[in-house]
Amino acid sequence: MQFEAGIEFARKLDGEDPLARFRNAFNVPTRADGNPEIYLCGNSLGLQPKRARDCVIQELDKWASLGVKGHFDGEYPWMPYHEFLAESSAALVGAQTDEVVVMNSLTVNLHLMMVTFYRPTEKRYKIAIEDHAFPSDHYAVESQLRYHGIDPRQGLLLLKPREGEALLRLEDMAALIEEQGDSIALMLLPGVQYYTGQVLPMAELTRLARQRGICVGFDLAHAAGNIPLQLHDWQVDFACWCSYKYLNAGPGSAAGCFVHRRHAQNTRLPRFAGWWGHDKQSRFRMENRFRAIPTAEGWQLSNPPILSLAAIRASLEIFTEAGGMGPLRSKSEMLTSYLQFLLKTEVGELISIITPEDPEQRGCQLSLCCEARHLGGRELFLRLEENGVTCDWREPNVIRVAPVPLYNSFEEVYRLVEILKAACNE
C-alpha cells in the first residue's frame, strides 16, 4: 500500500480496518485528563480483556458456592481446566492439541524442558544461544551447564551479530552450526529477539540444526500471539512462551509449553515429574508409581492456578473471534509499516530503526534509537510518557514501540510520531 501523511489518511485506514471493533474488547488505561493513553507496550504487558474480569469472577463465585466440588462441577470444572485452553493455544503456535499445555512460568518451563532435552555427553555438551539473550534465558542456560558440571566458558556458544550490526544473519548462524554442530547438544533461541524485534528464521534454523543432531528449543515470549508459527511442521523439539505480553492474560499469568509429538508420546524420556503429569485415570489411586501422560501434559508438575487460566481463556477467545493469526498478522504488518513510513518521513534524521525493514523479519515491535544531539534516548522516552504514550525503554539505548493489531489504531501510530517529532524538534 502507498501510505500518505496526515491524520485523515490514518483515520481512513481505521475506517477500513475489519479488526477495529476488537479495541472495544479491552480496557485502555486513561491519562489524568480522562483521555485514553496511546498504549504501545503490548510487547511487555498486554491490555486487559474486558471479559477477563467476568471469567475470573465466575471461578471466584464457583469457589464460594461449591468449594472443593468446583474441581468437577460447573461449566469449566477446575480438574481439566487447562484442557479448555489446548485447542486455541495450539492454533496460535501451529501445533497439535496434544503438543501444548499451559503450566508454570516461562523460565520454569524452560528448565523443565532442558532437564529432558539437554543431555550432554563428553563430546556433545554445548548450548548455543544468542549473545543478547533475555537475561532470564541466559541465567537458565548457565545454571543448567553448571548443574551438569560444565563451565559456561566452555559450554556456552553465543551467536553474535557482525561488528557494527544489530541483527543476526542466517548465514552466520548456519556457519556456526556447520562448524561446531558435533559439539552442540542444544540450541535455544528466541522466536523474536526482544531487543531488536528481529524474527529469527526458525524453520531454517531448526532444519539445519536437526541435520547435525542438535536439539532445538525456542523461547516464544515475544512471538506467541505476535507472528504466525508452525512448530509442529517445523519439527521444533520444544518451545515455551509467556502469556502476559501479546496474549493479554495479565501480569505473571501462567505460561505455555510445546513438546513435539514424537517426544511427547515417549513416556520414558527423563523429566522432573509431578502428579499432574501422571496418568489421569490412575492419578488418585496414590500409588507412587509415576506413569507419564503421553502428551505435553506429561511435563506438568502441579494443578495449575485456575484464576490465571480463566484470564488466559478470556484472551484466547478473542483471538479465535478475530480469526486467528492470519488476519491479525495482516493488520500488524500494515500498522508497523505505516509506523515505519511515518518515522522515516517525519523524524528520519533523528530516529533510527534497528528492527529489520523486511516485514517478514519482524513482528509488531519497532526498536528505535534516538540520534538527536540535544535529547538522549532516555530523555525522549520520558518525554513520550509525559505526553500520554506508554512504550518501554531497554538499556542501553532502545525505545521499544509495539502497535498491537487487536487494540491499537492507525491514528494512535500517527499521534505517536507527531509527539516524537515535537519532542525531537524542541
* Angle in degrees, CA 361, 362, 363, rounded to 5: 140
What is the predicted pLDDT for the residue at 423? Answer: 87
pLDDT tens-digit map of 397-418: 899 999 999 999 999 999 999 9
Measure CA of the first residue to CA of the last residue in the chain; give whole Å: 32
| pLDDT tens digits for range 234-270 | 999 999 999 999 999 999 999 999 999 999 999 999 9
CA distance readout (Å), 413 to 66, 94, 264, 390, 410 = 47, 30, 43, 12, 5
Averaged pLDDT score across all residues of the chain: 96
Quick: pLDDT tens for 262-279: 999 999 999 999 999 999
Asked whether 417 and 343 are in contact (CB, 8 A), the reply is yes
Kindly give the interhelix angle for 7-15 and 410-425, rounded to the nearest 10 degrees. 160
CB contact at 8 A, 413 and 10 = yes
Structural contact between residues 43 and 393, judged by C-beta atoms closer than 8 angstroms: no
Region for 46 from its dihedrals, namely left if φ exceeds 0, alpha if ψ lies in -120 to 50, beta otherwise: beta
C-alpha cell at 41: 507496550
Chain CA centroid to CA 13, Å: 27
- Say if residue 396 is preceded by a cis peptide, omega within 30 of 0: yes
User: φ, ψ for residue 73 (rounded to 5)?
Assistant: -110, 165
Write down the pLDDT at residue 396.
Answer: 85
pLDDT average, residue stretch 14-18:
98
Across 54-64, average pLDDT? 98
- pLDDT above 80 for 313: yes
**Domains of the chain, earliest start first:** 7-36+325-425 (3.90.1150.10), 56-321 (3.40.640.10)
Cα 421 from Cα 393, distance rounded (Å): 18
CA quadruple 18, 19, 24, 25: dihedral, nearest 10 = 140
* Pairing outcome for strands 184-190 and 126-130: parallel
- 370 confidence band (pLDDT: 50, 70, 90): confident
Question: Is the pLDDT assigned to residue 329 strictly greater than 90?
Answer: yes
| Alpha helices (H) in 23-160, listed in sequence order | 50-66, 86-93, 106-117, 135-147, 152-155
**CA–CA separation, 240 vs 201, rounded Å?**
17
Beta strand residue intervals within 5-78, DSSP E: 26-27, 38-39, 48-49
Percent of the chain with pLDDT over 70: 99
pLDDT at 426: 74
- What pLDDT does residue 1 have? 84
- Tell me, what's the pLDDT at 302? 95
121, 135 Cβ separation under 8 angstroms: no
* pLDDT tens figures, 183-229: 999 999 999 999 999 999 999 999 999 999 999 999 999 999 999 99
Phi, psi of 257 (to 5 degrees): -145, 140
Query: For 258, which DSSP code?
Result: E
- By residue count, the chain amounts to 426
C-alpha cell, 216: 532445538
Of all residues in the chain, what percent are helix, strand and coil, respectively (each to 5)?
A: 45, 15, 40
- Under the banding of pLDDT at 50, 70 and 90, the label for residue 375 is low
Distance CA 155, CA 344 (A): 42
Q: What is the pLDDT of residues 145-187, one digit of tens each?
A: 999 999 999 999 999 999 999 999 999 999 999 999 999 999 9
